[in-house]
């Protein structure tokens, strides 16, 4: 997916972002230029992995 620029500079808090749909949304928003807050309830390891994937893809947060 190519960044369309429509969401550049926006901020999103994604709850449940450590796995499943929340993780997918966090990654997609980050690719679109959104500063993403990765929130989790029970899986810090999963949240850390999502953050690593986002930053490893060259997305700056």
pLDDT tens readout for residues 11-53: 999 999 999 999 999 999 999 999 999 999 999 999 999 999 9
Domain extent listing, the chain: 1-42
How distant, in Å, are the alpha carbons of 6, 13, 42 from that of 31? 11, 15, 25
How many residues appear in the chain? 61
pLDDT of residue 9 exceeding 80: yes
d(CA 46, CA 54): 12
pLDDT of residue 60: 62
pLDDT interval class at 58 (50, 70, 90): confident
């Amino acid at each position: 997916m190519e960044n369309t620029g429509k969401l550049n500079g926006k901020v999103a808090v994604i709850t449940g972002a450590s796995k499943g749909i929340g993780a997918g949304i966090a990654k997609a928003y980050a690719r679109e230029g959104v500063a993403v807050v990765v929130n989790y309830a029970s899986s810090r390891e999963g949240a850390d992995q999502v953050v690593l994937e986002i930053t490893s893809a060259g997305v700056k947060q």
